Amino acid sequence: MEKLFETITNEIGLKVEKHIQIKKLFTPKEDVDYKEQLEDALKLIQQGRRILVSWKENYQAVFLIFKNSFLIFVLDQKIY
């Protein structure tokens, strides 16, 4: 189960990294007002952060449920 979570974490991280390329976000574009470009970049960075924080919170919640379920199973089976 831990390997699955690690794989999911890596995939989410790679997708966020692919969409949020800091160097590209802050390189001035000729056809866009730089202030507007920075505002758009900030929105994209905030969105990426929300995705990562959401995954972390969901991961922790699921892991806690899994851990508690396993503990209950062990105690029920008297495997200790």
Alpha carbons 62 and 36: distance in angstroms, whole number? 39
Write down the pLDDT at residue 6. 86
Task: Please check whether residue 79 is in contact with residue 40, taking contact to mean a CB–CB distance below 8 angstroms.
Answer: no
Whether the model pTM is above 0.75: no
So where are the chain's domains?
A: 2-77
Torsion angle defined by CA atoms of residues 56, 62, 65 and 71, in that order, rounded to the nearest 10 degrees: -90
| pLDDT beyond 70 at 1 | no
Residue 5 CA to chain centroid, in angstroms? 11
pLDDT tens string 9-67: 899 999 999 999 999 999 999 999 999 999 999 999 999 999 999 999 988 888 888 77
Residue 38: predicted pLDDT: 95
